Amino acid sequence: MKYLVRAIVFGLVGYVSGVWLTLAVRGGDPTDEVAVVFGFILALLGWLAGIGGLEAFGRQWIGKTPKLSEDHTWRRYFQFSGDHKVIGIQYGVTLFAVLLIGGLVSMIMRIELAAPGMSIVDLEEFNKLMSMHGILMIAVAVAGIIGAFGNYLIPIQIGAADMAFPRLNALSFWLVPPVAIGLLSAPLLGSFDAGWTAYAPLSVTNDSGQILFNLALIAFGLSSILGGLNILVTVITMRAPGMTWGRLPIFTWAGFATALLTFSVTQFFAGALTLITMDRVAGTNFFGPEVGTGILYQHIFWFYSHPAVYIMVLPGLGVVLELVTTFSRKPLFAYKTTVGALLTIVGLSVVVWGHHMFTSGMADFLHGPFMILTEAISIPTGVIFLSIMGTLWQGKLWFRAPLIMTFGWLFNFMIGGITGIFLADVATDIYLHDTYFVVAHFHYTIVGGAIFALLAAFFYWFPKVTGRMYNDKLGSIFAVWVTVAFNFTFMPLFWVGINGMNRRVGDYPEAYAAANKFASISAFILGASFLLFVGNMLWSAVKGPKAGANPWNARTLEWQVSSPPSHHNFLSQPVIVGHPYDYGGDGSPHVIFPDAEEPPDEVSLEEASV
Amino acid sequence: MRKSWLPVGFLWLVYTILILALVKYVNVLPTQWAEEAQVVDEAFLLLMYLAAPVMAMVLAVMTWGMIAWRSDGADREDGPNTHTNRIVVTTWLVLTSALAIGVVINPGFIGLAEIRGEPSSDYVIEIEASQFFWEVTYPNGATSFDELVVPAHMRVRYDVNSTDVHHSFWVPAFRVKIDAVPGITTRVFATATAEGSIEDDINLRIQCAELCGAGHAAMAMPVRVVSDAEWNEYITSIGGSG
């Protein structure tokens, strides 16, 4: 823990020095935004140096050998470890905690929204809660699957000992806690009320908490970019012998597609937020109220933030595709077409941002092209559905918690996809834009698409990561519970949206009272379901039965090594000799270990008692 | 091998009919108060009809999967070794592309042309948004901060702008919306079709539809639709140059 303590101390010292330096140079007050900016920057550097950056990078700068955490006890999770499995768990636990905090914020929102009129907060406080909920959940959705499972699994699935740049990987993760701390401490400066979208000029003129939003998100962007770069280089250069692109597991393909996006578009959000930060502290006027460039901000913002939707959903697609093939015991249907679809989604996702702006006042001639391109995305998305349904078709479906979650995902993402068409169509979007229809739609795609996949992934890979099996009966109950409660919460919100209730409001006309009350009660039931999930996971991680190497009898590489995998994953070099999903084939393996002395320990399915 | 086609096809048909019936007989749309609302609602319903078979297909596969493709326990075997099926994939791509193109044409471009309409109008009403109120300026220069009164059966152009941050001019009953952008005048057209007020329908209101700060939720203003003659009388009565 000494590194964590050192990180906190260095961070605090950095913050105080930044503020002190600013005051020494220009005077003013410690809560001035410019002081906060320099405080945050130095705090971030101090934190990174303290947690282990000094040893991992600093030593090299003075000619010594860099050092990463070598600890093999539980303490490594609080250190600057380059081990991709440690980093995966760090991401998973941190972001799940953020998910729970964001969920609690939404519970407060639903209490307020349970009836018209104001009860526990005022309109302004509601906007701040809404903005906090939004950005925390966006962070979870952006980095949850790719940060936790991408880091943990991609090197194993391709037969590599680790990621290409372990130190950079550690840096990507250790940037995340300051992001969470920055966002959660924004209420000290009056919080931010401009939504997660931070539209200018509102975000230029609102309370000082906005500055912490900007700084935190820029740091988060850096983390995403470095993480994306790492995954790209790892997948391109570190595949085991025989791991051709045509044999790459679909989750790794999805992670690769995601990394292409995070690496190339995150800069735009960070750039837009930098300009807003400059407007607030440096006297520039890029997006001030009198300039009339608010639409430009929206263009830059959505140029990142529409692809960001796919950054959230693509890893989810990878998880679901991986799960249907394992639990149907059939090859992934139309593998090559599906990979093509994932890459087509990447390509199209960067040219459709304008559909968020049909009512923004942007030039009329842009409406048609953005509508065509947006609706074109339905074609590759349809291929993903074809692949899922084709894989399920006459398969041997094993209804365990991961597959039940996948069925919930399938239903939710279908609703999310279909309602997306209404928002791609100009005529209907002009009406539905900024209503609760949009709120329901993106919860169906992002919670239904990304978070459901994240939960399914927790179940599916739990035995691999912990070496123990979760309780599947409780897991299955949770899977049904969360799916039903989710639908009861968000289905009525389509209706209130269609009937004229706008989003981001703490109060609404009496006409929408009944549906909102229903949604609120369902939301509390939805929130409660997570107690069951967390309880199951925690208890099983300690007391669950030993799971063995391959409890699901899956073919991909991560299941051919021990649970949890050894340090650097493989005792001997894996060689890829076949397709990862050749279920029902001639029994030829996906991978062999030519130099292995003995195969990894096998526990039969009965013993694993799944 | 082909034994699932029949039950899944049957379920697909049943679900499609059920969803189509739901769309036809359960009205989820609010009352229309403008010609533009008719365009939007038509587009909405068309998309619902087109969505029915798509939803039904996913639901059919899910249902039959839960009924007939179960295989529990440790002794289960592998399923058939089907990697792909060129006919199915090609058919799927052709059909989904055709559907996407169809949606782009109608309601896409047809709806776009209809909702945009002719650039001409009978009257121009200026709407100025500020944190957190609306100011209406009528053609005779009369202004109001209390309500928007519009003539029925007249095509009105709303010239919208903002004095501070972005807002959005939205009358749910008319189904039209355009952002109020500081420094730019945006415009939107609406032709009211019946006389009424917020007493008749909560959606006869201007509601700000772009997060604009603390008072965003409360930034609403009642809308009243009256006859052309009454409207002329009204705007004269509240002042302006006649």
Q: How far is CA B204 from CA A419, B30, B34, in A?
A: 25, 11, 11
Does residue B169 surpass a pLDDT of 50? Answer: yes
How near does any CA of chain B get to the CA of A279, in Å? 15
Looking at residue A273, its pLDDT comes to: 97
**Residue % of chain A over a pLDDT of 90:** 95
Q: Tell me: the pLDDT tens digits for B102-146?
A: 999 999 999 999 999 989 999 999 999 999 999 999 999 999 999
Contact between A230 and A563 (Cβ < 8 Å):
no
Contact B51 A582 (CB under 8 A): no
Q: What is the pLDDT of residue B242?
A: 44
Q: Are A414 and A406 in contact (CB under 8 A)?
A: no
Q: Do the bridges between strand B167-171 and strand B176-180 make them parallel or antiparallel, or are there none, so unpaired?
A: antiparallel
**Chain A residue with Cα closest to B81:** A584
pLDDT at position B215: 95
Q: Does B211 sit within 8 Å of A202, measured CB to CB?
A: yes
With 70 as the cut, is the pLDDT of residue B241 above it?
no
**CA of A431 vs chain B CAs: smallest distance (Å):** 5
A335, A376, A451 from A349: Cα distances, Å: 21, 10, 20
Contact yes or no for A170/A87 (Cβ under 8 A): yes
Pairwise CB contact (< 8 Å): A421 & B47: yes
pLDDT of residue A599 exceeding 70, the answer is: no
A333/B92 touch (CB, cutoff 8 Å), yes or no: no
DSSP, collapsed to helix, strand or coil, labels residue B167 as strand
Confidence tier at A500 by pLDDT (50, 70, 90)? very high
Respond yes or no on whether ipTM tops 0.90.
yes
Asked if B214 and A123 come within 8 Å (Cβ–Cβ), the reply is yes
**What is the chain A residue with the closest CA to B205?**
A500
pLDDT, one tens digit per residue, over A230-243 is 999 999 999 999 99
Question: Taking all residues of chain B, what is their mean pLDDT, rounded to a whole number?
Answer: 94
Q: How far apart are CA A367 and CA A358, in angstroms?
A: 6
Among candidates A199, A383, A397 on the partner chain, residue whose Cβ is nearest the Cβ of B71: A397
What is the H or E stretch that residue B149 is in? Answer: strand B148-151
CA dihedral A309, A310, A315, A319 (to 10 degrees): 90
Minimum-distance CB partner of B80 among A378, A407, A584:
A584
Residue A191: which pLDDT band, with cuts at 50, 70 and 90? Answer: very high
Minimum distance, in Å, between the CA of residue A594 and any CA atom of chain B: 26
Of B43, B100, B107, the CB nearest to A379: B100
User: What residues in A contact B55, CB-CB < 8 Å?
Assistant: 414-415, 418
- Any residues with CB less than 8 A from the CB of A322 and at least 6 apart, and which? A249, A250, A251, A460, A556
Mean pLDDT of the B62-85 span = 87
Q: What is the pLDDT of residue A318?
A: 98
What pLDDT score does B239 carry?
83
Domains and CATH numbers, chain B: 1-64+111-117 (no CATH), 123-237 (2.60.40.420)
Condensed to tens digits (0 to 9), the pLDDT of residues A240-290 reads 999 999 999 999 999 999 999 999 999 999 999 999 999 999 999 999 888
Residue A600: predicted pLDDT: 54
Give me the mean pLDDT over the A47-63 stretch.
95
Q: What mean pLDDT comes out for the span A77-91?
A: 96
Decide if pLDDT at A187 tops 80: yes
pLDDT, position A602: 52
Indicate yes or no: CB of B177 within 8 angstroms of CB of A509. Answer: no
Q: Which residues of B54-92 are buried (b: 16+ CB within 10 A; e: fewer)?
A: bbbbbbbbbbbbeeebebeeeeeebbeebbbeeebbeeb
Rounded Cα–Cα distance for residues A19 and A40 (Å): 9
Q: Where is B127: in which H helix or E strand? A: strand B123-130
**Nearest CA distance, A607 vs chain B (angstrom):** 10
In tens, the pLDDT along A452-467 reads 999 999 999 999 999 9
Instruction: Measure CB to CB from residue B40 to each of A360, A427, A500 and give the nearest one.
Output: A427
If you average pLDDT over residues A475-496, what whole number do you get?
98
From B70, which residue of chain A is nearest by alpha-carbon distance? A397
Q: What is the mean pLDDT of residues A94-123?
A: 97
Q: Which of A337, A426, A348, A347 is nearest to A385 (CA)?
A: A337
How many Å from the N-terminal Cα to the C-terminal Cα in chain B?
80
Q: Which of B178, B217, B218 sits opposite A361 (nearest CB)?
A: B178
Q: Pick from B65, B164, B214: which is nearest to A397 by CB?
A: B65
Measured between CA atoms, how close is B86 to chain A, in angstroms? 9
Q: Residue B28: which of A197, A372, A495 has the nearest Cβ?
A: A495
Given a cut of 60, is residue B74 above it in pLDDT?
no
Nearest CA distance, A289 vs chain B (angstrom): 6
Partner residue facing A394 (CB), from B54, B79, B202? B79
Kindly determine whether residue A430 and residue B115, on different chains, have CB atoms separated by under 8 Å. Answer: yes
B140: closest CA of chain A, how far (Å)? 26
Give me chain A's average pLDDT, please: 95
Per-residue model confidence (pLDDT) at position A610: 45
Contacts of A180 (CB under 8 A, 6+ apart): A94, A98, A136, A139, A216
Residue A258, token pair as written in the block: 């995601």
Contact A427 B183 (CB under 8 A): no
Tell me how many residue pairs between chain A and chain B have CB atoms under 8 A apart.
Answer: 276
**Residue of B35, B216, B221, B223 to mutate when probing chain A, most A C-beta within 10 A:** B216
- A85-543: what fold? Cytochrome C Oxidase; Chain A (1.20.210)
pLDDT score for A300:
97
Give B198 to chain A, closest Cα distance, Å: 11
Residues of A in Cβ contact (< 8 Å) with B59: 411, 414
Contacts A386 to B, Cβ<8 Å:
88-89, 92
**Chain-chain contact of B166 with A199 (C-beta, under 8 angstroms):** yes
Over residues B25-48, the pLDDT tens digits come to 999 999 999 999 999 999 999 999
Q: Looking at the predicted structure, is the pLDDT value of residue A609 above 50? A: no
Contact A335 B170 (CB under 8 A): no
Angle between helices A123-143 and A176-184 in degrees, nearest 10: 170
- Is B177 close to A199, i.e. CB distance below 8 A? no
Task: Sketch the domain layout of chain A as residue ranges.
Answer: 1-68, 85-543
How far, in Å, CA of B32 to CA of A313, rounded?
36
* Yes or no, beta carbons of A427 and B84 under 8 Å apart: no
DSSP one-letter string for B184-238: --EEEEEEB-S-B-TTT-TTSEEE--S--STTSTT-EEEEEEE-HHHHHHHHHHT
Name, in order, each residue with C-beta under 8 angstroms of A54's C-beta and a sequence gap of 6 or more.
none
* Å between A569 CA and nearest CA of chain B: 27
Look up residue A300 and give its two tokens.
């830059």
| Nearest alpha carbon to residue A80 among A59, A50, A41, A119 | A50
Instruction: For residue A538, count other CB atoms closer than 10 A to its CB.
Output: 10
| Angle formed at CA B151 by CA B149 and CA B155, multiple of 5 degrees | 120
Q: What is the mean pLDDT of residues A470-496?
A: 98
Question: pLDDT by residue (tens digit) across A522-581?
Answer: 999 999 999 999 999 999 999 999 999 999 999 999 999 999 999 999 999 999 999 999
Facing residue for A375 by CB, picked from B76, B103, B182: B103
**Which chain B residue lies closest to A507 (C-alpha atoms)?**
B217
**Contact call for B166 and A202, based on CB within 8 A:** yes
pLDDT at A497: 97
